[in-house]
Every structure is written in structure tokens, then in C-alpha cells.
Amino acid sequence: MDKVPIPEWVWDHPLIRELEEARATNHAHLILARFLQQTLWAALAFAGVYGGLYVALQARRRRDRAYREAHSEDQCEEFANRSASTLNAFGACYGVWAFWRDEWAMITHPVFHAVGGSPAREYYMALLLGYLLFDLLRILYWRFGRRMPQRTQGSTSMIIHHLIVFGIFATGVAMQAGTYFMMLFMSNEITTPILNLRFFLTFYQKRQSTWYLLNELLFVVGFFVFRIVINLGFFSDIVRYWHIYREGMARYGHGLPVMYFLVILVSSHILLQMWWFTLILRTAYRRMVRPGSSPTAATHPDATRSPADAKRD
């Protein structure tokens, strides 16, 4: 795109009107205050919802003797973990669809990719922030609080992933910077129910079924499309419209350090997804040369949240 000036009508657009008002009154800190008062509280509330579901499912092992005898402690923990993960994925996917339905037509200039936002965006991003808080605490609890098999503890790569995404979303919402891309990145969660279905099929002894094999293949294709191709497409837009983003963010006091901070985190997120995909392909190859082994989805750390699972992923 040619480096043409940003038209004046852009600065009166509903998506960035709040930023304009804060800029006019020299109270840009009010945006951060609102994040602390609203989005963060919403994230904590969602973390409580995920935690409540997790605890309720974990409690079943103590109440149900047959369930306790049929499944080990780490299997029960993973069932509860995957259930919370799936709930979050459905919520995130709905948020992406609602964003496309309600706001896509309003995004009529690339500057809206870099600055501005809406209460709906903050709500759905708070949902994902809440899950990240819950899951990070869960991983740390099992890793340092109680000793469980490495499969249950959660991998180092998942901790890094959660911290990166939390940093991206918290910075974006607090400054209303780049939330357009953050909503689009939430489409990555489309692959999570497919990944978790692999565990549920195994849990209910359906590992040898045709559905299991189809789910494995769907996961590999879905991961490549939604976490590699689409993410690289988003990043190409960042490169393409960099000069527009820089001008738009500078107007609201977001200097180059903020922009580079977000770009570094986004780049790290994409590289992590690409690394996971190489593990998936490696495991897929091993399954092809050793047909008796379990197929592919085992390679993604999200599946078991562990390095041992990373070898499967």
C-alpha cells in the first residue's frame, strides 16, 4: 500500500472515538484504569468459572468409586483439564464469529487494525485471559505444589505460550492497540476441541475407531491452516501496513517500544506454533514408518501439556 496520509474521517470513527476523547482531555491513563477495573476483573471471573468446572470434575473421582478404580489420578486430572480447555475454545471461537459478524464491516481502514477497540472485543479477550490465568495456575500447582507424572504437570513450552499470549492480550486491551489482530489470533482455538477430542476418544476406549484416525488427520490439517497459514497471513499484514500502524499508534502516545514489544511477542507466538507443527510432522512420519503406533495429534504439547507429549506432538 502506498504511503498516503490517513484521512481525517478515521479519527472520528466509533472504533477509536474513546481514544480520541482520552487524547483530547489528556487522560490517556483512563484507558489503562478501565482495563484494570473491568477487563481484569472479568478475566478473574472467567478464571473462576474454569476453575469451578475443573474442581467439580476432579471431585467426581472422590465421590465415584467405580470412576476412581477405572481411571488413574492423572487421567482424571487431564479429563477435567481438557473439559475446561474445550469450554474456553468454544467461547473463543464464538467471540471470533461475533467479532466478524458485528465489527468486520466497520473496519474500513488499516489504521483500525492497530488502534481502537470495543467492549465486545474486551469481553471475549477477557474470556481467554481468564483461561490463561486458570491454566497457568493449574500447571504451576501440579509442577511445584504436588508431584504428578510429567504428562499432567504441563510442559515448559505451554508456560511460555501462556505468558506470551497473556502479555499480548493484556498490553493490547490496556492500550487499545492491536486488538483487531488479537481477535483474529483467537481463531487458533478452532484446533483445540479437535485436539481434546483425541483424549476423550482414548478416555472412552475409542482409540481404535475410524473416528479417532479421522480426528488425527483433521487435527494436522487444522493446525497447519489455522495456526500456521492464517497466522503468517496476519503477520504479513503487519509488515504491509507497518507505516500506517506506526502513525496511528503514535497519535495516541504508543511509541515504537510498544509496537516492537507487541510484534516481538506475536513473532514468538508464531514461532512457537511452527515449532509445535514440526513436532507434529515428526510424529506423523514416525507413525507412518511404524503403523502399529498411535497417530499424530500426540505431538502437540497442548494435548498433554508436557515435553513427553511434545514428543507425541
For residue 19, the model assigns a pLDDT of 78
Residue with cell 497457568: 136
Q: What is the pLDDT of residues 281-310, one digit of tens each?
A: 988 888 777 765 554 454 555 543 333 343
Region 123-139: mean pLDDT is 92
What distance in Å separates the CA atoms of residue 124 and residue 127, rounded to the nearest whole number? 5
Quick one: DSSP state of residue 7?
P
Rg (CA), the chain: 21
Residue ranges of domains in the chain: 8-312
Q: Specify the range with the lowest mean pLDDT, choosing from 159-173, 189-203, 250-264, 283-297.
A: 283-297
Q: What is the pLDDT of residues 244-266, one digit of tens each?
A: 888 888 887 777 788 888 899 99
Region 92-99: mean pLDDT is 94
Region 206-227: mean pLDDT is 92
Q: What is the pTM of this model?
A: 0.83
Q: Answer whether residue 70 shows pLDDT above 60.
A: yes
The CA-atom distances, in angstroms, between 94 and each of 98, 187, 213, 222, 247 are 6, 9, 27, 17, 32
Q: Answer whether residue 98 shows pLDDT above 70.
A: yes
Residue with cell 482455538: 189
Q: Specify the range with the lowest mean pLDDT, choosing from 4-8, 210-214, 227-231.
A: 4-8
Q: 70: which residues sit within 8 A by CB, 6+ positions away?
A: none
Region 135-159: mean pLDDT is 74
Cβ distance 80 to 54 under 8 Å?
Answer: yes
What distance in Å separates the CA atoms of residue 77 and residue 58, rounded to the nearest whole number? 6
What distance in Å separates the CA atoms of residue 195 and residue 90, rounded to the nearest whole number? 13
Percentage with pLDDT > 70 across the chain: 83
Q: Specify the range with the lowest mean pLDDT, choosing from 28-37, 179-188, 271-280.
A: 28-37
For residue 81, the model assigns a pLDDT of 93
Q: Answer whether residue 59 shows pLDDT above 70.
A: yes
Q: Count each helix (H run) and each strand (E run) in the chain, helices first.
A: 17, 0
